[in-house]
Structure 1
């Protein structure tokens, strides 16, 4: 999914874009990232796709800008996939029962770019479909940490597509780099990530996927400059951990018959 926002600065008109294409990476080992989810989002003007990741059998995290469309009809979540265009026996396709975009999400600078998706039925946890942990509210990832991102997005600037899950290793950068490049960068809720050589990056189609560091999902693929491939900005999950758990509790209440939050 691609979003273009034009923001006026003192020196130039800066185009922004959702991030997401795995460039300079490699095909992931089949089912080596069983927490990965592929979101098919249907809305009035057609369909779009994003990444996501399973944090509870009934809940997937993704980016808010993936569902920032008018007239969304439904979201289908595919789990256990390697080749997204093949009906693999490992795949589980589940409709979303509900989805919640952070109330303070803003497309201007992609602030609070996080969404939680409630699955209509719980995923069956097995060797192909598993959960990934998220950090606590006070937990952080250090500058220089080598992390990995995976997705089914485009794999080149010429818009070459991939059917199979690909992955790339990226380093967490100093906050000052993103503060200089992004007018709306917020250190507490965002992570500055990328490969300074521009040989490795994420781009169109992988938005919503996780930045995995030390086996935890510390970030969510969010945005970058359209014409400047380094650095890239990820949503900092630890900052939103209290909000995530509040929504998970609300989802749980929906399952209790007769509760105020149930259907």
Structure 2
């Protein structure tokens, strides 16, 4: 019995130390050091060559050619910061309940822990509308069949330890009902995020401080597969055109793709991949298709 007590005491001591270290890290984080998760060392190791759009490797999660969002217009939007040994990565996400954020599996995988920023317009400052919360890696729920090489099943939930305080600026996104089989091809869709704003290397093409949005049409999977192949564009993927150089870019991964429905909006996609040839080159942007994962999402809310 004495040995058992000693073991339990040691375990608790380590856990408390880890929690303190985590909170100190996030409290003292220099936001200027945060980079898109795609820029974290080692991110591109092991990617499938099928992720080539014909001229260069694809890159995950890429908003360009859009505009600044109206503050509060996308209250489900989350900024997701992940702590890795090699740096701090930026992704997007969406609130789907008062305890759950939906994102892409390739965002939090292998991270030490994460911080979510909700109710934000400018993610670089602490606005009065914001709520920030740390999520330990034990609270990640990555799809069991997530394939890091071709990004199939690129979806995850992150469970908060504390209830998310809902407000005018923090609300859940509306997901299509379980069993919905709409393909949404031809519909105008909107994606939002704080990712890179153009293809160049200068400061003007860095990640955005203020939330940005872009709209374009959803295209058929057949058309999308003509760029990325059927190993990447499977039935559980949905794609958006980037006509006019308007689309996602590095740092937008995990964010919400929405369409208009019944006076509101449905979230039909989670930002997954785009073309490394350039965010502005017109190659389609790929998303995890939410309707394909509705049962999985319901089963991974806790």
TM-score computed with the length of structure 2 as normaliser: 0.77
Question: 1:16 Cα shift?
Answer: 2.1
- 1-structure distance, mates of 2:152, 2:209: 30
**Structure 2: gaps spanning 5 or more residues:** 1-36
| SS at 2:179 equivalent | coil
2:295 counterpart residue number: 242
Q: In terms of mean alpha carbon deviation, does 174-183 or 211-220 score higher?
A: 174-183
Map of 1:115 onto structure 2: 156
Equivalent residue of 1:179, what SS?
A: helix
Q: CA deviation at 1:186?
A: 3.8
Alignment pair present for 1:226 and 2:268? no
Check if 1:154 corresponds to 2:207.
no
Q: Indicate yes or no: 2:259 matched with 1:201.
A: no
Aligned to 2:112: 73
Look up the match of 2:129. Answer: 90
Deviation at 1:9, TM superposition (A): 9.2
Point out the more displaced range, 10-19 or 96-105. Answer: 10-19
Contact 1:141 1:218 in 2 (8 A): no
Question: Quick check: 1:138 aligned with 2:188?
Answer: no
Q: Secondary structure at the match of 2:295?
A: helix
Q: In the TM superposition, what is the alpha-carbon distance from 1:13 to its structure 2 partner?
A: 8.0
When you count strand as a share of all residues, which structure comes out higher?
A: 1
Contact map agreement 1:113 1:222 (CA 8 A) in 2: yes
* Superposition CA RMSD, Å: 2.0
1:51 to 92, 105, 129: 92
* Alpha-carbon shift at residue 109 of structure 1 (Å): 1.4
Computing the radius of gyration from Cα coordinates, the structure with the larger value is 2
Q: String of CA shifts for 1:219-261, please: whole Å, max 9, x gaps.
A: 000002211541111100110111111112xx1xxxxxxxxxx
CA distance in 1, matches of 2:183, 2:129: 32
Alpha-carbon distance between aligned partners in 2 of 1:6 and 1:207, rounded to the nearest angstrom: 18
The 2-side partners of 1:79 and 1:19 are apart by: 19
SS at match of 1:247: coil
Counterpart in the other structure of 1:99 = 140
Residue 64 of structure 1 aligns to a residue in which SS?
Answer: coil
Deviations 1:29-66 (A, max 9, x none): 01111111001100211210100000001000000011
Shift of 1:185: 3.0
Q: Which has the higher helix share?
A: 2
Query: Which whole-Å CA distance do the structure 2 matches of 1:130 and 1:104 have between them?
Result: 29
Give the structure 1 partner of residue 7 of structure 2.
none
Number of equivalent positions: 245
Residues 61, 28 of structure 1: alpha-carbon distance in 2 compared, 3 angstrom cutoff? same
Does 1:33 pair with 2:46? Answer: no
Residue 95 of structure 1 and its aligned partner are, at CA, apart by 1.4
Alignment partner for residue 219 of structure 2, among 159, 173, 176? 173
Structure 1 residue runs without a partner (length 5+): 252-263
